[in-house]
Amino acid sequence: MSNVLRDVESEIDRFRKRLLAAAAFVLLAFALLASRLVYLQVFRHEELATQAEANRIAVVPIVPNRGLIVDRNGVVLATNYSAYTLEISPKLGRGNEAELDALIDDLAGVVDIAPRDRKRFKRLQDELKGAESLPIRTKLTDEEVARFMAQRFRFPGVDVKARLFRNYPLGDTGSHLLGYIGRINQAEKAAMEDWEEAEQGNYKGTEYIGKLGLEQSYEKVLHGQAGFEEVETSAGGRAVRRLKSHPPTPGDKLVLSIDIKLQALVEELFGDRRGALVALDPRSGEVLAFVSKPTFDPNLFVDGIDAESWRELNESIDKPLLNRALRGTYPPGSTYKPFMAMAALNSGKRSPTTLINDTLVFNFGGHRFGSPETERGGIMDMNRAIVQSSNVYFYSLANEMGVDLIHEQLYPMGFGRKTGIDVEGEVTGDLPSTEWKKKRFKKPEQQKWYAGETISLGIGQGYNNFTMLQMATAMSTLVSGGQRFKPRLVREVEDVITGQRKRMANDALEPLPYKPADVEVIRRALHGVTTDGTSRASFVGAGYASGGKTGTAQAVGAKANEKYNAAKLEEHKRDHALYVAAAPIEAPTVALAVIVENAGWGADAAAPMARRVFDYLLLGQYPSAEDIAAMREGKAKAPIGKTRPAAEVPLPGQATTAAAP
């Protein structure tokens, strides 16, 4: 019996110990919980409260409306419209392509998703690694939005968003000067990291950026100031309630100096031919027309260009993506002669009355430098040499001046240097000198300048290569007596909130010290070209006095002792047609340069283009439909048919162009 009692007491004792151990463990656990609670509630209260609030409240950037671009008369060239897009979170595609493809297949049963949409989505996946969402379909109809929203619960990670899209109402008109916008790529994101912190913050949520032209050059003016809104989110991350918002400030409006009706007219006059035309106001540097042909439709790039359209643009022999006015360089041909004449007068190398016997051949170092069959030769003073376009006169002048003096005199006019126009991408061209050649070539035998290389420079051949922007700028400087301005495309910037317009400064450069008598010699000779010289047929009956100089430049070098025959050459190898001009010649308000690629004589193809531009700007006259058709075929000189008041002619395509799709 006693043994039994002892066993019971022993069991009770063990139980008490276990109970005490369990109680101690429970008390310790509660103590740990209490200490943790104190730590979280007291020491980390503010931090955790902030995190909890952040889990419930999201700050969402609001992208501002991009600024408009209008021409000098208020015609809208770039605007915005709102549309719905169907977007997928990129997280859904990570590591499981098959699942993503299945999701897209299911979505295709609700809204129409074309193969093109799938290809674009795949490309954006590769290009935009850090994007919050990627569009699988853009510009949804109201019916498609309603269908998706009714079945939204089936597609987590997929949502409909309202986006702003850029629109260029006139399509390909002025495309090279406007440029286009597109999605920000990885390289651009990396470049943005070097921006100031405030600028980086302003681009939070921004997915599109200017890629070319004015859209690129005035990106930060057009972008505006981003806004934000605080929204309450559900556990799934969807916004359920807006708590607070700060509206964005739209981008400023660009008012261009361009007359888009003139721009469209010139582009139409080119037809299917390639080339460029730049027209400036010599009194201010404002650009009146900035044409490069062929053009392209910038709307193709806004939503991501498809592979077929890109291949067509990028691989075309006509190079429609090349901005010929800004980046195309060409030998100036005989259009260079008036500038050479001014260089001779300014440097004192020749007087206007110096006489040269033009025998149609200039011999130098055992080489014969010839003249076109159309030249008549004879005794030439400076005026007659320009009017008759004497090669021998300018061969001999180049030889007398030498390459370095030519460079010294023509560089200030704008040759071989960037003009400073307010759009990115300008090239310098080539104005040769002995130093230029040393830098240009690597081999010692190539770096040496040979005297014979100077001769052809006098007639705008050899190493000479310039843009039409440089040619127009130089012409503006020449006819204005040495006044120089940086050319500008943007005339004013308008604050969309206050409506105030800020006039862009006309950046006047230091004038060149040309003597008025020397300038008058050149002006008189330029006018003679239009009355007695190579462009007289284009200016018959003009209601103003103009001056100009035609030119023909080789597209490819001619073989030795081989006579040029355009009919036997491929079209892309034929000579270029050029013309530089100004009007009214007594007090010029417009100066221009035009090239029609592979069109032959400047008098046949380029000078008629200048005539129509002057008629439009000086007389308010618009060519007849008959004349436009003839010009497109290169078969008109002086205008034909009855001209129309320019103010009464609608902008081409205006009647059928909507402000937004």
DSSP secondary structure of 330-361: B--GGGGHHHHHHHHHHHTS--TT--EEE-S-
For residue 568, the tally of other CB atoms under 10 A from its CB is 10
Domain range for 419 is: 260-656
Whether 88 and 133 have beta carbons less than 8 Å apart is answered as yes
Report yes or no on 129 lying in a domain. Answer: no
Q: Which tokens is 406 given? A: 């030519």
CATH number of the domain bearing residue 610: 3.40.710.10
Of 472, 134, 453, the C-alpha closest to 291 is 472
What tokens does 393 get? 């006169």
Q: How far apart are CA 355 and CA 523, in angstroms?
A: 19
Q: Which of 217, 292, 334, 476 is catalytic?
A: 334
> pLDDT band for position 658 (50/70/90)?
very low
Does residue 612 form part of some domain? yes
Share of the chain above pLDDT 90, in %: 58
Q: Is residue 204 part of a domain?
A: no
How does pLDDT run across 297-348, given as a tens digit for each residue?
Answer: 999 998 778 888 888 999 999 999 999 999 999 999 999 999 999 999 999 9
- 557 or 88, greater pLDDT: 88
* SS3 (DSSP) at 611: helix
CB 70 within 8 A of CB 76: yes
- The length of the chain in residues reads 661
Q: How many domains would you assign to the chain?
A: 1
Dist CA 232 CA 58 (whole Å): 6
Question: What pLDDT band is residue 590 in, cutting at 50, 70 and 90?
Answer: very high
Residue 454 lies in a domain: yes
CA 429 to chain centre: 18
Structure tokens at 267: 């582009």
Amino acid at 509: L
Q: Which two tokens stand for residue 638?
A: 């002086």
Residue 471 lies in a domain: yes
Active site (annotated) includes residue 334:
yes
- Helix then strand then coil, in percent of the chain rounded to 5, is 45, 20, 35
Q: What is the DSSP secondary structure assignment for residue 504, as one 8-state letter?
A: P
C-alpha distances (whole Å) from 613 to each of 289, 437, 468, 480, 606 are 9, 38, 15, 19, 11
pLDDT in tens, 488-536: 999 999 998 898 999 987 778 999 999 999 999 999 999 999 999 999 9
d(CA 339, CA 328): 20
Residue whose C-alpha is closest to residue 469's, from 283, 285, 258, 265 = 285
Q: Show the DSSP H helices in 458-599 as ranges.
A: 468-479, 516-531
Per-residue pLDDT, averaged over 254-269, amounts to 97
SS3 label, residue 239? strand
| DSSP line for 539-558 | GTT-SS--EEEEEEE-SSPP
User: pLDDT, tens digit, for every residue of 354-405?
Assistant: 999 999 999 998 899 999 888 889 999 999 999 999 999 999 999 999 999 9
* 533 occurs within a structural domain: yes
pTM: 0.85
Report yes or no on 16 lying in a domain: no
**Residue 361: inside a domain:** yes
Distance between CA atoms of 487 and 467, rounded to whole angstroms? 13
